[in-house]
Amino acid sequence: MTTGDGLSKAANSESIEKLAKNMARVEELSKRLADVMAQKVPHNPALDGPNQELYARAATAYWSQIMQNPAKLLEQQIAFWGKSVLNFAEAQQALTAPPEGSEAQDNDRDRRFANPLWDNNPYFHFVKQQYLTNAETIRNAVQEAVELEETDKKRLAYFADQIIEMMAPTNFLPTNPDALERAVETEGQSLIDGLENLVSDLEANNGELVVRLADESAFELGGNIATTPGEVIYRNRLMELIQYTPTTETVHETPIVLFPPWINKYYILDLKAQNSLIKWVVDQGYTLFVVSWVNADESHAEIGMEDYIQEGFLTAIETAKDICGVSQVNAVGYCIAGTTLALTLSLLKQRGDKSVKSATFFTTLTDFGDQGEFTPFLQDDFVDGIEAQVAEDGLLRSWVIGRTMSFLRSKDLIYGPAVKSYMMGETPPAFDLLYWNGDGANLPGRMAIQYLRGLCQRNEFAGEGFELLGHRLRLRDVEVPLMAITCETDHIARWKDCYRGVQQMGSRSKTFVVSQSGHIAGIVNPPSKKKYGHYTNPDLKGDSDAWMAGAEFHEGSWWPRWQAWLKPRSGKQVPAREVGESGLEPLAPAPGTYVRVKANR
């Protein structure tokens, strides 16, 4: 027996042993998969897609167009057939004369097709080109459904796009060259690891498929994220109020009370020292209080918007006033908390209460007249389904909210990560922003329905008024000096919609800013990064297009501009207030206890 034969037998023996181990893992993982799916609690099917009436209306409109103009259908079909035949002809030609390194097409626009095989291999090239042809045909058909109402057309376009993204060849092993190459390189280990990732994600979410975006083991609250020193100074059933430890000898007399959204955790504003808005505010010499909201469970089912205002906003403001010995605070609201801050300001105006000296709104919608990208989810069939599920659970569970947000960017937040995790067998990255994104919160059922029906669907706050706490709250009652920070590419709270709401507020002092980037990056934009600039324009009389046309662009973060606006509204300098000196005993060190509770999915 030669040495080569011995090595060959040893290698073959090792391969057989590895194969046997992998088969054993597949059997174990298959059992775990079956177990978790058997225990999955079914949810209302209305949460998964529109009712059939939308498709029926679309089919009726399409058929009507065919009857009126049959040539249009033939034109569409001939164009589709022509492109399909051309794709096949190119593949045939490539088989007889394989390209030696053709330049990538469309790859600079779509990262999914970055692998050279999409252009150099006849099979993959044909698959890609036919997919792009199919996608273009479907989108064109939706756009030409002229007899559909605009809302139906928007919804149809959205769901057509979801089908297109779901059917991308990169989402299937036989048509994904990256996954196939990885499987060959690793002797199938990548597929085993991917199956492990899939089963683990299902187990973590009670059978619901929620793709894990970040390596959760890489982060520790209070350890390497949410580390700004402070203490929980007050707690009730809805919130913990954190007072942060001063870093300057003196502070401004008027404290800041910051209300983050309760859809996610507050520490998006305190991920790490380098980009922490919370740390930066404290370092500028302000006494800062931040609310950390409870992660709702079934016991919170009957909590409504009025409770968030009374036990959250008003209680936090009064507590901060008492601790600091002042009569007013500067308030900040982010996203849905900004909306609720505006409701609170209307209530205070009607009560004659001047506890809020100024208000700052981060990416805040107050006029929901244009539902934007949320149009597909804010029609009655979806909201009826949410209401039915909420009636059963008492909660709007975090996975419903998270999935809805993710599907708005499904290529980047669902299918891309799923391919990497489940087909390539990769461990999710240790990325703090994605960790926060996956650390969602449940919402009390009553509050969620009030928000969806009264604000989002009926737009009552910007209209006839939103009934709450014995008052009819109106947008025009917001009269305190205000600054609104919006974000240029924000798809959740579009800056033009935020602008429309600010225009209707009654304040005589309004400052409106559009930061570059999106809902998170445009806000978490520290000056030290010198990354995103911002636009300003003091003239808010015209529409949003006129505002932007006349706006001045400024390099760098909006944070210093906000501080310059806030400083003259923050009073004289006083000795720094140490946590606990007011007589309220600290209850727990920041980041507190509520933030550590994981959502009950």
Closest to 323 (Cα-Cα) out of 571, 570, 586, 572: 586
Residue 74's pLDDT is 46
- Pairing, β 239-244 against β 230-235: antiparallel
**At residue 108, does pLDDT exceed 70?**
no
Which residues, other chains included, contact 166 with Cβ-Cβ below 8 Å and sequence gap of 6+?
410, 415
- Amino acid letter at 84? S
- Please state whether the peptide bond connecting residue 255 to the residue before it is cis, i.e. omega within 30 degrees of 0: no
Looking at residue 485, what is its pLDDT?
A: 98
Check if the beta carbon of residue 288 is closer than 8 Å to that of residue 281. Answer: yes
- Kindly tell me if the per-residue pLDDT of 379 is higher than 80: yes
Contact 265, 291 (CB under 8 A): no
CA 41 to chain centre: 25
Angle at 365 (CA atoms; ends 560, 276), nearest 5 degrees: 35
Tell me the C-alpha distance between 458 and 466, whole Å: 10
Q: Is 234 helix (H, G, I), strand (E, B) or coil?
A: strand
What pLDDT sits at residue 294? 97
Report the distance separating Cα 349 and Cα 337, nearest Å. 18
Catalytic residue among 335, 456, 487, 498: 335
Whether 356 and 348 have beta carbons less than 8 Å apart is answered as yes
Q: What CA–CA distance (Å, rounded) separates 414 from 411?
A: 6
CATH architecture designation of domain 230-376+442-596: 3-Layer(aba) Sandwich (3.40)
Looking at residue 382, its pLDDT comes to 84
Burial zone of 99 (CB within 10 Å; 0-12 exposed, 13-18 middle, 19+ buried): middle
Does the pLDDT value for residue 276 go beyond 80? yes
Residue 494 has pLDDT above 50, yes or no: yes
pLDDT tens figures, 19-78: 567 667 777 777 787 777 777 777 766 666 665 565 555 555 544 554 454 445 445 545
Judged against a pLDDT cut of 80, whether residue 554 lies above it is answered with yes
Strand intervals (E) in 277-411: 288-293, 329-334, 356-362, 395-396
**How many Å apart are CA 201 and CA 403, to the nearest integer?**
14
Kindly tell me if the per-residue pLDDT of 16 is higher than 90: no
Binning pLDDT at 50, 70 and 90, where does residue 598 land? confident
Write down the H helix ranges in 45-188. 52-68, 70-96, 117-120, 122-143, 150-166, 177-185
For residue range 89-105, list pLDDT tens digits in order. Answer: 666 566 666 555 444 45
* pLDDT value of residue 592: 97
Does pLDDT of 407 surpass 50? yes
Residue type, 3: T
What pLDDT does 48 receive?
61
Tokens of 437: 């994104």
Q: Are 282 and 270 in contact (CB under 8 A)?
A: no
Pairing of strands 466-468, 356-362: unpaired
Q: What is the mean pLDDT of residues 207-220?
A: 87
Please indicate whether residue 335 is annotated as part of the active site: yes
Please give the pLDDT value at position 560: 97
Beta strands (DSSP E) in 335-490 are 356-362, 395-396, 443-444, 466-468, 471-473, 482-487
Of the candidates 226, 234, 218, the one whose C-alpha atom is nearest the C-alpha of residue 277 is 226
Q: What pLDDT is attached to residue 352?
A: 97
Mean pLDDT score across all residues of the chain: 86
Distance separating alpha carbons of residues 450 and 320, to the nearest angstrom: 28
Helix axes 177-185, 189-204, angle to 10 degrees: 110
Residue 183 reports pLDDT greater than 90: no
- Distance in angstroms (rounded) separating the CA atoms of residues 597 and 491: 28
Question: Per mean pLDDT, which range of 240-254, 359-373, 587-601 is the poorest?
Answer: 587-601
CA distance 465 to 599: 33
Whether residue 580 has pLDDT greater than 60: yes
Compute the average pLDDT of residues 294-310: 96
Residue of 599 and 493 predicted with greater confidence: 493
Global pTM value: 0.85
pLDDT value for 76: 53
* Residue range 385-409: mean pLDDT, rounded: 87
Does the pLDDT of residue 484 top 60, yes or no?
yes
Q: Write the pLDDT tens digit of every residue in 422-457.
A: 989 999 999 999 899 889 899 999 999 999 999 999
Asked if 493 and 363 touch (Cβ cutoff 8 Å), the reply is yes
Dist CA 569 CA 565 (whole Å): 7
End-to-end CA distance of the chain: 61
Q: Map out the domains of the chain as residue ranges.
A: 55-176, 230-376+442-596
pLDDT band at residue 600, thresholds of 50, 70 and 90? low
Reported as half-sphere exposure (CB side, CA atoms, 13 A), residue 143 has a value of: 8
